[in-house]
Structure formats: structure tokens, C-alpha cells
């Protein structure tokens, strides 16, 4: 008697017993493969379970469905597990399934595989994904922002906004409904700080670190350099200081060709008068004050350059002296690029994160502190749906 309203037709032992299946019969069907034991007291038809298990993350999906099936009516997938269904980035994903149920007596979980939350579940905060009852993307982000650290909440909120799963007005509407709930004040700060232009958890973490180190907020994903077409798009840009900051993942230096291309791009940006600072995941998470110190030094250099003579093209009729200076500058740039290209192989061998020209220096700097955060939202972005189509959306 598979349940058509559940993924893989999951049924509980109690439901099988009510349909006339004895314990011995259930054991025989399980040994034959006609039933698949998903978890304690939860089974699925063998063929349908095997189809789900053939998916890359099918086992986890079945475990979520089992966790919901054995709980009281009204229980839904929420928090980190809901983020998983929507492909929202998280700093850490717990092994336990995270569920939420409406307030009532007797809520408890004796299983380490399930983490239960208790909260009101208005109808407009709920939807269905892969035949699983789940909180909407906006409610999911709000719950994560309430219950996780500020940094982890920003990672989730940035990701949901970037994927266009939610908009700032949608998040604000949910927070209004949850205004008196635990963690609501932190959630307001998280949503106010969130920015959908951040493209990865590393960029989100960097934005938080910049604020904690009292750096001015940078612009994100800016095309810069070049006279005919831009040299490239940069992760962070402080326009008043002509300073660029780039986050470096391991993949960037694992490939020598990619490393050389990065060095050439940095040289072109510096030739156009920009300061370029690189930092890695390890640097921004373990020594953010050192990253901030390097950026401040770049601010000083960039401000001096901006205040100096313009880097305009030499006018027509420039004398031989100016032509010679231009030739010397070009030769020096070519020599510098050749040296940088030679260093790229060493860069790739160093497991991805050596200091780059202008990279975060080891110079000690004052410790960063949590900023006085504001809740002024960035420009809202319209939602176009979720990434839950991997399993089919039952809405």
C-alpha cells in the first residue's frame, strides 16, 4: 500500500499493520527486496526506492521523507534541510534532518538523525518540493538568519538572493510575521546586509569580514580597465581608492594556464592605475585583520595615485624624449609580465594560495570587531523560481 502523496510511496510500520501486514510478512518482503527499509519504522516499495537511491543525493532525500513520515501531522522540512532542497549555500550542513512543527504538547525527538524546531507555520510560509512539505524559500532564509550566526546567515541569504529564489520584500514580509520570535533582531540585520551580487560563500564571508574590520562597503562584480573593452570583472571594488580585491579559490592556481591569465589580468589592471589585492579562504577566515591591513595600504596608494597627474595618453606630436619614456615603460612592463609568467608554475605547485603581487600581507593589524550593522536593504531582485526542479516541484 504505497502512499501516493509521499516520495517513493513511503509508508510507516503502523500503516502497513493497519493494511493487514504482519511483522513477519514485512520482514519477508524486505528480504525479497519488495520493500526497502528507509529507517526505523519506515519502508518504501523496493523498486521505487532503488530509483531514488540511483540519484546523486537520493539517500538523503529518502531520509528526509522518512523523517517527515513518522512525525505528527503538520511537520515540514525546514532550516538547513529546506536549504538543501533549494540548493541554497550553507557554511555547514548538519547530518540531522531539520524539521519544524506547530506548537503542541509532546514535541520531542529521540533520534540524533532529526532536529526538531517548534514554531507557527502560516499557510503562506509553506509549499511542496518533491512531494515533501517544506517551508518557502523566504521562510527558510528567515529561519536560518534567526538560528545561525550572522556570518552563516549572510551566506544563506546572499545565495538565495543571487539564485533569485527570494526578494528583499519577500524576506521582509516573513520577518514581519516573525518579529517576536527568538533571533528575529539578528535576522533583520542579516537580511539588511544581504546582497545578491555575492556569487559564492567566500565572497559573502569576505563582505562580513570587511564590515567587521570597519572597511567601507565595496561595490561588487564590477567591470574595470581597458580603453576599448574592459580587462575583466572584479569581485570587490572601492571606487574612491581605485582598489580591487579578489578572492582566490584553490582551482585558480591548480591550473598553470589559469594562473598565468590571472597574473596578466592583474598587470593590465595595475597598468590602468588600479591597486589589486588577493586573499584566500584561509586568510579571510583565519586572519581577516591582515587582509584588511593590506586593503588599507592599497587605499593609501590608490588615493595618492588618484590625486597625482592623470595617466592620459601622450598627445600627438610628443617628442623623442616622451617616446623613449614610453618605450622604457613598455619594456619594463614586458619584463614584469615575463617574471610573473615564470612564477605562475611555482604558484600552481604551492596548492593554490601563495601570495600574489598585492596579496594580503602578514603585517600585524588591529583585531576586527563586529560592525554596527544597519538594515537598509539593497535593491530587490525579482524571483524566478527555485532550483528544486531537480526533484519536481509539487506546487
- Structural element, H or E, at residue 280: strand 275-280
| pLDDT on residue 260 | 87
- Count other C-beta atoms under 10 Å from residue 101's C-beta: 19
Residues 62 and 35 grouped into a single domain = yes
Burial of 35 (0-12, 13-18, 19+ CB in 10 A): buried
385 and 268 both lie in a single domain: no
> Are residues 96 and 72 in contact, defined by beta-carbon separation less than 8 angstroms?
no
**Assigned domain for 316 exists:** no
pLDDT reported for residue 367: 65
Which residues are bridge partners to 223 per DSSP? 233
Give residue 235's pLDDT: 96
Q: How many domains is the chain partitioned into structurally?
A: 3
Does some domain include residue 362? Answer: no
Q: Are residues 189 and 272 in the same domain?
A: no
Residue 380 included in any domain: yes
Residue 293 lies in a domain: yes
85 shares a domain with 194: yes
What are the Cα distances from residue 178, in Å, to 161, 239, 304? 20, 38, 49
Q: How far is CA 164 from the centre of its chain?
A: 13
Q: What whole-number distance in Å separates Cα of residue 354 and Cα of residue 282?
A: 11
Name, in order, each residue with C-beta under 8 angstroms of 382's C-beta and a sequence gap of 6 or more.
Answer: 164, 167
**Does residue 169 sit in the same domain as residue 229?**
no
pLDDT (tens digit per residue) in 23-35 = 999 999 999 999 9
Q: Is residue 195 located within the same domain as residue 293?
A: no
Bridge partners of residue 127, in order along the sequence:
134
Q: Which among 41, 70, 99 is the end of a domain? A: 70
pLDDT of amino acid 308: 63
Residue 320 lies inside a defined structural domain of this protein: no
61 within a domain of the structure (yes/no) = yes
* First and final C-alpha spacing in the chain: 24
Q: What is the pLDDT of residues 215-233, one digit of tens each?
A: 999 999 999 987 767 888 9
Last residue of some domain: 19, 43, 70?
A: 70
Picking from 29, 50, 70, the residue at the C-terminal end of a domain is 70
pLDDT (0 to 100) of residue 318: 36
Residue 366 lies in a domain: no
Q: What is the pLDDT of residue 250?
A: 66
Residue 233: which CATH number?
3.40.960
**For residue 128, what are the contacts with CB-CB under 8 A and spacing of at least 6?**
134, 393, 394, 395
Both 182 and 243 in a single domain?
A: no
Q: Do residues 20 and 41 both lie within one domain?
A: yes
pLDDT at 336: 45
Q: Are residues 382 and 336 in the same domain?
A: no
Stretches in the chain below the pLDDT threshold 50: 310-364, 373-395
Q: Same structural domain for residues 79 and 95?
A: yes
Same-domain pairing of 221 and 234: yes
Asked if the structure places residue 204 within a domain, the reply is no
Are residues 63 and 105 both part of a single domain? no
Give the range of the structural domain holding residue 252, as residue numbers without chain letter. 215-308+330-349
Question: What pLDDT, on a 0 to 100 scale, did the predictor assign at position 104?
Answer: 74
Verdict on whether the full-model pTM lies above 0.85: no
Amino acid at each position: 500500500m504505497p502512499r501516493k502523496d509521499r516520495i517513493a510511496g513511503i509508508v510507516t510500520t503502523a500503516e502497513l499493520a493497519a493494511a493487514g501486514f504482519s511483522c513477519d510478512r514485512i520482514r519477508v518482503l524486505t528480504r525479497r527486496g519488495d520493500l526497502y527499509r528507509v529507517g526505523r519504522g519506515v519502508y518504501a516499495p523496493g523498486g521505487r526506492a532503488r530509483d531514488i537511491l540511483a540519484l546523486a543525493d537520493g539517500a538523503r532525500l529518502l531520509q528526509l521523507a522518512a523523517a517527515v513520515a513518522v512525525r505528527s501531522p503538520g511537520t515540514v522540512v525546514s532550516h538547513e534541510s529546506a536549504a538543501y532542497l533549494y540548493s541554497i549555500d550553507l557554511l555547514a550542513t548538519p547530518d540531522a534532518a531539520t524539521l519544524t512543527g506547530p506548537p503542541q504538547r509532546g514535541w520531542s525527538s529521540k533520534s540524533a538523525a532529526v532536529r526538531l524546531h517548534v514554531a507557527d507555520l502560516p499557510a503562506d510560509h509553506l509549499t511542496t518540493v518533491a512531494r515533501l512539505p517544506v517551508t518557502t524559500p523566504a521562510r527558510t532564509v528567515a529561519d536560518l538568519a534567526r538560528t545561525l550566526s550572522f556570518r552563516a546567515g549572510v551566506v544563506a541569504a546572499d545565495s538565495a538572493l543571487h539564485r533569485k529564489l527570494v526578494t528583499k520584500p519577500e524576506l521582509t514580509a516573513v520577518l514581519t510575521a516573525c518579529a517576536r520570535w527568538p533571533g528575529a533582531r539578528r535576522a533583520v540585520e542579516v537580511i539588511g546586509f544581504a546582497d545578491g551580487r555575492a556569487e559564492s560563500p567566500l565572497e559573502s564571508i569576505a563582505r562580513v569580514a570587511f564590515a567587521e574590520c570597519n572597511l567601507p562597503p565595496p561595490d561588487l562584480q564590477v567591470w574595470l580597465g581597458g580603453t576599448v573593452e574592459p580587462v575583466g570583472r572584479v569581485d570587490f571594488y572601492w571606487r574612491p581608492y581605485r582598489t580591487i580585491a579578489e578572492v582566490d579559490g584553490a582551482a585558480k592556481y591548480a591550473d598553470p594556464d589559469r594562473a598565468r591569465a590571472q597574473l596578466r589580468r592583474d598587470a593590465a589592471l595595475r597598468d590602468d592605475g588600479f591597486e589589486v589585492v588577493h586573499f584566500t579562504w584561509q586568510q579571510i577566515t583565519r586572519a581577516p585583520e591582515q587582509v584588511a591591513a593590506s586593503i588599507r595600504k592599497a587605499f593609501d596608494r590608490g588615493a595618492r595615485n588618484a590625486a597625482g597627474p592623470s595617466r592620459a595618453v601622450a598627445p600627438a606630436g610628443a617628442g623623442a624624449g616622451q617616446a623613449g619614456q614610453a618605450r622604457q615603460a613598455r619594456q619594463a612592463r614586458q619584463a614584469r609580465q615575463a617574471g610573473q609568467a615564470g612564477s605562475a608554475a611555482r604558484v600552481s605547485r604551492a596548492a593554490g594560495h601563495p601570495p600574489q603581487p598585492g596579496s594580503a600581507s602578514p603585517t600585524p593589524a588591529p583585531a576586527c570587531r563586529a560592525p554596527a550593522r544597519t538594515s537598509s536593504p539593497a535593491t530587490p531582485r525579482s524571483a524566478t523560481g527555485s532550483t528544486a526542479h531537480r526533484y519536481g516541484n509539487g506546487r
